[in-house]
């Protein structure tokens, strides 16, 4: 059954149809939330909140943009909400656009499994993503983790296409800068002189 079929059934009150949608998207939604929130427990809460919002909103969901776009939008909103709430609770104030969101030492990711399976670069990238500004992190994970088009990202984050394109470019540059600083990309440079 397609997403559209399941959405139609779920909107009519069929919770089993909705359960299929949740199963279909749980990993994708959770992964997105995890990259925004950083904390696995917060990510699970945000992912759950996104699905609950979807269930509540189904009667008025028109389906123009497709369920995936909608659920990712709900996820980003729930995750950002969760992140802000928790940062407020933890007394952090770094919600601006500077690349100043320091990693939380309490966060266990990237874990040993991540390092073992994906090598050092993947673990370093996961770490570097958390140091990006909220804006940069959002566009980059929607693009690279979910492989969404500029149009879909624009719809999810309510940005215009030009902003999405330039923000993704800046986010990549910022992430690379962090990785160069930590020495995780030095192998890809033809020579140090070429970079300078």
Partner 1 sequence: MSGCESYETLISALLDGALEESERRELEDHLASCPACRAYLEDLKAIQTAIGGLDVPAPAGFTGKVMDKIRAESQPAKKAKTIRFPRWQRWAAAAACCALVLAGLWTLRPGASSDPAQVNVSNSAAPYGVGDGLNICSVDGGGAIPRDAVPDAAAQYAAVLTTDSEAAQSWLEAQLGLPWTAGERYTLTAEEYASLRQALTEAGAVYTEELGAQASEAYLLVAE
Centre a 10 Å sphere on the Cβ of residue 57 and count the other Cβ atoms it contains: 12
39 sits near partner 1 (criterion: CB under 8 A): no
Of the pair 13, 102, the CB lying nearest partner 1 is at: 13
166 sits near partner 1 (criterion: CB under 8 A): yes
144 sits near partner 1 (criterion: CB under 8 A): yes
135 sits near partner 1 (criterion: CB under 8 A): no
Cβ proximity of 121 and 128 under 8 Å: no
How far apart, in whole angstroms, are the C-alpha atoms of residue 183 and residue 31?
26
Distances (CA, A) of 133 to 63, 108, 139, 190: 31, 20, 10, 29
Long-range contacts of 10-16 (CB under 8 A, 24+ apart): 10/55, 10/58, 11/58, 11/59, 11/61
42 to 61: interface string for partner 1, x by CB under 8 A? --x--xxx-xxx-xxx--xx
Residues that bind partner 1 (CB under 8 A): 15, 18-19, 22-23, 26-31, 34-35, 40, 44, 47-49, 51-53, 55-57, 60-61, 70, 73-74, 76-78, 81, 114, 117-118, 121-122, 124-126, 129, 140-141, 143-145, 147, 150, 156, 165-166, 168-169, 172-173, 175-176, 179-180, 185, 188-191, 194-196
């Amino acid at each position: 059954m397609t997403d559209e079929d399941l959405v139609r059934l779920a909107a009519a009150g069929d919770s089993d149809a909705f359960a299929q949608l949740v199963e279909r998207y749980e990993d994708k939604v959770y992964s997105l939330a995890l990259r925004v929130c950083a904390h696995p427990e917060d990510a699970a809460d945000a992912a759950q909140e996104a699905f609950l919002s979807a269930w509540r909103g189904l009667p008025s969901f028109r389906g123009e943009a497709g369920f995936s776009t909608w659920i990712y939008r709900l996820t980003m909103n729930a995750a950002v909400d969760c992140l802000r709430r928790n940062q407020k609770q933890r007394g952090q104030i770094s919600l601006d656009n500077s690349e100043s969101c320091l990693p939380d030492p309490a966060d266990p990711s990237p874990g040993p499994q991540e390092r073992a399976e994906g090598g050092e670069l993947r673990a370093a990238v996961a770490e570097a993503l958390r140091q990006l500004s909220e804006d940069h992190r959002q566009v980059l994970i929607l693009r690279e983790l979910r492989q969404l088009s500029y149009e879909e990202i624009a719809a999810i984050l309510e940005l215009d296409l030009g902003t999405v394109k330039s923000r993704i470019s800046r986010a990549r540059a910022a992430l690379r800068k962090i990785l160069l600083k930590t020495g995780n990309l030095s192998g890809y440079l033809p020579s140090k002189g070429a970079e300078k």
